Amino acid sequence: MTDTATRTYTRADFQSDQEVRWCPGCGDYTILASVQTFLAEAGLNPEKVVFVSGIGCSSRFPYYMSTYGFHGIHGRAPAVASGIALANPDLSVWVVTGDGDGLSIGGNHLIHAMRRNLNLKILLFNNQIYGLTKGQFSPTSEYNKRTKSSPTGALGLPFNPVSLALGAEASFVGRTIDMDRPHTVEVLRRAHQHRGTAFIEIYQNCNVFNDKAFAELTGKEERLANRINLQHGKPVVFGANEEKGVVLAGGSARLVDVAEVGIEALHVHDEHAPDPAPAFALSRLSHGPHGPTPLGIFRDVTRPAYEDDLQRQMSTAQSGRGPADLAELIRQTGTWKVG
Amino acid sequence: MPDETPPLEQESVDHVRIRFAGDSGDGMQLAGARFTDASAIFGNDLATLPSYPAEIRAPAGSIAGVSSFQVHIADSDILTPGDNPDVLVAMNPAALKANLADLAPAGTIVVNTDAFDDRNLARAGYETNPLRDGSLRGYTVIEVPMEKMTREAVKDTGVGGRGVLRSKNFFALGLMTWMFSRPVEPTLEWIRTAFAKDEAVVAANTAAFRTGYNFGETTEQFRHTYQVKPARLQPGTYTNATGNQTVAWGLVGAARAARLPLLYSSYPITPASDILQELSRLQKLGVRTFQAEDEIAAIGVALGAAFAGHLGVTGTSGPGMALKSETMSLAVMTELPLLIVDVQRAGPSTGMPTKTEQADLLMAMYGRHGEAPLPVLAVASPAEAFDTMIEAARIALKYMTPVVVLSDGYIANSAEPWRLPDLDHLPDISVPFAAPDGEAKFMPYRRDPGTLARPWALPGTPGLEHRVGGLEKEDVTGEVSHRPANHQHMVELRERKVAGIADDIPEMRVDADDGAELLIVGWGSTHPAIFAGVRQARARGAKVARAHLRYLSPFPRNLGEVLRSYPRVLVPELNRGHLLRLLRAEFLVDAVGMNKVQGMPFKTIEIEEKIMEMTRP
């Protein structure tokens, strides 16, 4: 586990001396601030923290942190981060990726990281567009979206990152949004506490190439109508007066008026449910996101982290049979002497 | 003619080449390997060449499904598995058909007659039975009903059904063991250990082996046996090992010499998978392996582990090497120590995955985007791989650079005696990690003035927090920089760092006859064939010089001088002229190539004849 500090930190202790170069108004600024605030509050030592990224706007993130950092290549951050976590389980290893980096070119690494459950915290900044390459559609862009590389409409359905993570056996899956810093800090805190891979989708506004993609969750009026805050052990309700709710039936989640069905009929959210099906059903409520959309912790289950399992194997091997050193290993394959 | 058979003679020969061939399910690799080990323990020098089909189980009895194992044993140092076998063991018609062309003139064929039925003959494409139609005149054919004999031998052992005929490879092995006067005990011991979990199988294989041995002794078909005396090898302790084994052990040795934990991260690919498998069973030695989701992740994990202070290694073959290219450039940019082992196979694309080739050299040298020089070393033989891996690690750590090590399918799978190094006194190749020096800001790209290596600062060290990555970095500070002059400076610095390694590696040694005007330059697995070919040509009076490169990037300092001191330079390679191009471009010498791309190593005779042709007055 990561050591906690003996001294207290502030956000400034996690800021590097590099000039932040995202576009003015980019959602990445608020996420950066939330992450730095969280790290200071959690009391993590900067030298014990490593940020690893791929390529894309979000992947510049490590340069703006005063911790250790590795800015890798497109899509491969989970691989590099896995190597770091394997080599030194005392480190707190964070992956910063985007919808193109993590779900397109690096999709294979992402799903395998979640399946393995190494102790990685994966932050996927989802702005539903390629920003760094100036505006092509991404694997989370909505169907038929017109972009620079899809002037007649993007074909194929977008990924729903939370559904994907749940299907990939992730032991922790959360979703938050750039504008809501307290919510982001809380989800980060929970991810940090989780032993194993934690996947967090962060809705992030790209004000240059895909502005207001998440307006239904950030606008003053819309927010009240559309934001579903998942709370463990509580019925899933939303709306200005919690007059709306979610029921689960036949494996699907459905929106209802609480007055019509009664509060007892509502789905009670269980983050620790062994079966990911209810969480998956919740993740299917919204695409895009359009309409009521759940935010918070979808899933948080305990499962051995890969490093811990590996350590157990290594320890068992120490006391087990087999050659104790290289000389013995070679001798066992048969040797003979000459002269 | 007298009706008595002449008494059995024991003929002493200095070397013999035997090829076991059968269907891929016939256990020929196992028979060959056991014969080899018994010979090694007996003290012969030896070299082997396994050859197996790419399909795991091609249709039974077909030519595509033929698997073979050639072993060359001798009473003096030998270098190659031998060009043409003296003895061919053919377990079925397809094995005979696929291997007959290679058999030495007047060679001996031992056939399993039970497999020569109409169905198997048809599957092998024979219209008439070669045992009956006279086509094998000129060879000594020994017909043995191996299946019938095996069936008889194992009938009381408790093995039944399809298991019965599984033991027929042990029958063949027993027969060859008798014929070549090999010791029986090593094989019997091996059977007891390998099949310890199943008494019936131990009994069946032992019975089949003994029956084969006794068949040789009692049958009247054999006029004599052969005796190959032990070789006079350099004093020491030896083991018989394949190149994949010695590469794996070399990595364990390198990690120990470097005082670092080893992380080997790989994705299964023929012919490199054995390295992953061998290392994966060494957890007790502190070895960690990681089977990644793909080739790209495999090298990414190794690089991440290197960033965090491990000896990070990835291994692959050509197609995987291509996929790792982008991450190799990242390793060049981040200047982290990393080993990449490429066990080359015949390409392009999937090519012939189980066959050997040396056609990845130019990819290893230049197959990256941008100016991305890195050191390249080549393994010359199984016995030499251990040292090469330690040397590659030494360079990677001392110069903070990725290093490519080239092996190939021939080295990977063939075995030879390896004289063990003193494992308690491996060289110390450890390097210090960076430590805080009291300065306010850590400079991740401040270089050692001698080696030009940058410091290795491990995450977890207070005060050395820094960022590395693929973007160009400013000299000294390591901050992201797009300044034109800085990029030129950094490109040249990285190039100079790799070039400077030439001062830290041995000069090229030449094995030359006085007055030789022809220099043969080889690299990698062509070593045994070139060495043996040169020796044979010398025996015929040729004057020739021979040099073999372990370091392909950078080249040894004196290589240009060596090349220019011979009027003629020949470069034999299992490709279409990779080293040849490098030598011509780098040194402006009019070297000529000798190139073979058949998935097989050079034959000694091919090199020998080429030398004779080029040295003829």
Residue B481 pLDDT = 96
Tell me if A73 and B326 make a contact (CB, 8 A cut-off): yes
Query: Could you tell me the pLDDT band of residue B8, with boundaries at 50, 70 and 90?
Result: low
DSSP, res B432:
P
Cβ pair B610, B594 in contact under 8 A: yes
Tell me if A16 and B249 make a contact (CB, 8 A cut-off): no
Q: What is the mean pLDDT of residues B340-352?
A: 97
Kindly report the CATH number that applies to the domain delimited by A11-213+304-311: 3.40.50.970
Interface test with A, best of B291, B293, B335 (most A CBs within 10 A): B293
Architecture label for domain B248-504: 3-Layer(aba) Sandwich (3.40)
Chain B neighbours among A 112-151 (CB < 8 Å)? Answer: 112
ipTM of the complex: 0.96
How many Å lie between the alpha carbon of A321 and the closest alpha carbon of chain B?
A: 8
Residues in A closer than 8 angstroms to B40, CB to CB, are 334, 336
Kindly report the backbone phi and psi dihedral angles of residue B365, in degrees, each rounded to the nearest multiple of 5, phi listed first: -75, -45
Chain A neighbours among B 421-460 (CB < 8 Å)? Answer: 423-424, 458-460
Rounded to whole angstroms, the Cα distance separating B287 from B261 reads 7
Average pLDDT, chain A: 95
What distances in angstroms separate CA B159 from CA B34, B166, B171, B196, one per listed residue? 22, 10, 15, 15
pLDDT at A83 over 50: yes
Residue B80 pLDDT = 83
Query: Could you tell me the pLDDT band of residue A35, with boundaries at 50, 70 and 90?
Result: very high
Chain B neighbours among A 97-116 (CB < 8 Å)? Answer: 108-109, 112
Please tell me which residue of chain A has the smallest CA distance to B423. A327
How many Å lie between the alpha carbon of A285 and the closest alpha carbon of chain B?
A: 31
Residues in B closer than 8 angstroms to A330, CB to CB, are 239, 241, 249, 420, 423
Residue B3 pLDDT = 42
Tell me if A335 and B239 make a contact (CB, 8 A cut-off): yes
Decide: helix, strand or coil at residue B72: strand
Q: What fold characterizes domain B511-615?
A: Rossmann fold (3.40.50)
Tell me if A329 and B282 make a contact (CB, 8 A cut-off): yes
B460: left (phi over 0), alpha (psi -120 to 50) or beta: left
How many Å lie between the alpha carbon of A202 and the closest alpha carbon of chain B?
A: 24
Element (H, E) at B512: strand B511-512
Please tell me which residue of chain B has the smallest CA distance to A312. B283
Tens digits of residue pLDDT in B576-590: 999 999 999 999 999
Average pLDDT, chain B: 93
Residue A12 pLDDT = 94
Residue A270 pLDDT = 98
Does the CB of B119 have a partner CB in chain A at under 8 Å? no
Element (H, E) at A283: helix A277-283
pLDDT at B352 over 90: yes
Interface test with A, best of B465, B466, B481 (most A CBs within 10 A): B465
> Helix crossing, B28-42 with B185-194: angle to 10°?
130
How many Å lie between the alpha carbon of A190 and the closest alpha carbon of chain B?
A: 23
How many Å lie between the alpha carbon of A77 and the closest alpha carbon of chain B?
A: 8
Tell me if A83 and B237 make a contact (CB, 8 A cut-off): no
Of B233, B261, B423, the CB nearest to A338: B233
Query: Could you tell me the pLDDT band of residue B54, with boundaries at 50, 70 and 90?
Result: confident
Task: Give the range among A279-283, B419-423, B547-551, B588-592 with minimum mean pLDDT.
Answer: B419-423
Does the CB of B367 have a partner CB in chain A at under 8 Å? no
Rounded to whole angstroms, the Cα distance separating A239 from A257 reads 10
Task: Give the range among B148-152, B228-232, B257-261 with minimum mean pLDDT.
Answer: B228-232
Residue A1 pLDDT = 42
Query: Which of residues B51 and A150 earns the better pLDDT score?
Result: A150
Residues in A closer than 8 angstroms to B465, CB to CB, are 46-47, 66-68
Residues in A closer than 8 angstroms to B290, CB to CB, are 82-83, 86
pLDDT at B395 over 60: yes
Residues in A closer than 8 angstroms to B256, CB to CB, are 326
Structure tokens at A197: 């891979």
Cβ neighbours of residue A78 under 8 Å, at least 6 residues apart? A95, A97, A102, A106, A109, A110, A112, A113, A120, A122, B297
Of A16, A47, A335, the CB nearest to B460: A47
Which sequence spans correspond to the domains of chain A? 11-213+304-311
pLDDT at A336 over 90: no
Sign of CA dihedral A147, A150, A156, A159: negative
Cβ neighbours of residue A83 under 8 Å, at least 6 residues apart? B263, B265, B290, B300, B301, B302, B303, B304, B305, B306, B307, B308, B310, B312
Query: Could you tell me the pLDDT band of residue A30, with boundaries at 50, 70 and 90?
Result: very high
Interface test with B, best of A39, A329, A331, A333 (most B CBs within 10 A): A329
Does the CB of B303 have a partner CB in chain A at under 8 Å? yes
Does the CB of A338 have a partner CB in chain B at under 8 Å? yes
Please tell me which residue of chain B has the smallest CA distance to A87. B305
Q: What is the mean pLDDT of residues B251-258?
A: 98
Q: What is the mean pLDDT of residues A80-100?
A: 98
pLDDT at B70 over 50: yes
B471 CB neighbour count, 10 Å cutoff: 15
Residues in B closer than 8 angstroms to A83, CB to CB, are 263, 265, 290, 300-308, 310, 312
Query: Could you tell me the pLDDT band of residue B1, with boundaries at 50, 70 and 90?
Result: very low
How many Å lie between the alpha carbon of A180 and the closest alpha carbon of chain B?
A: 28
Interface test with A, best of B41, B240, B285, B480 (most A CBs within 10 A): B285
Cβ pair B385, B247 in contact under 8 A: yes
Rounded to whole angstroms, the Cα distance separating B290 from B298 reads 8
Does the CB of A72 have a partner CB in chain B at under 8 Å? yes
Across the A:B interface, residue pairs with CB atoms under 8 Å apart total 204
Query: Could you tell me the pLDDT band of residue B2, with boundaries at 50, 70 and 90?
Result: very low
Residue B224 pLDDT = 64
Tell me if A62 and B235 make a contact (CB, 8 A cut-off): no
pLDDT at B7 over 80: no
Same fold, B9-227 and B248-504: no
Tens digits of residue pLDDT in A207-243: 999 999 999 999 999 999 999 999 999 999 999 999 9
Q: E-assigned strands of B275-324? A: 288-291, 311-316
Tell me if B308 and A72 make a contact (CB, 8 A cut-off): no
How many Å lie between the alpha carbon of B487 and the closest alpha carbon of chain A?
A: 18
3-state secondary structure B531-571: HHHHHHHHHCCCCCEEEEECEEECCCCCHHHHHHCCCEEEE
Looking at chain A, the whole-number percentage of residues with pLDDT higher than 90 is: 91
Query: Could you tell me the pLDDT band of residue B249, with boundaries at 50, 70 and 90?
Result: very high
Tell me if A16 and B233 make a contact (CB, 8 A cut-off): no
Does the CB of A86 have a partner CB in chain B at under 8 Å? yes
Q: Which CATH superfamily is domain B9-227 in?
A: Pyruvate-ferredoxin oxidoreductase, PFOR, domain III (3.40.920.10)
Cβ pair B32, B50 in contact under 8 A: yes
Which sequence spans correspond to the domains of chain B? 9-227, 248-504, 511-615
Q: What is the mean pLDDT of residues B218-232?
A: 74
Of B263, B286, B330, the CB nearest to A73: B330
Cβ neighbours of residue B122 under 8 Å, at least 6 residues apart? none
B4 CB neighbour count, 10 Å cutoff: 6
Does the CB of A62 have a partner CB in chain B at under 8 Å? yes
Residue A34 pLDDT = 98
Sign of CA dihedral B411, B412, B418, B420: positive
Residue A5 pLDDT = 46
Cβ pair B468, B307 in contact under 8 A: yes
Residue A2 pLDDT = 45
How many Å lie between the alpha carbon of A311 and the closest alpha carbon of chain B?
A: 10
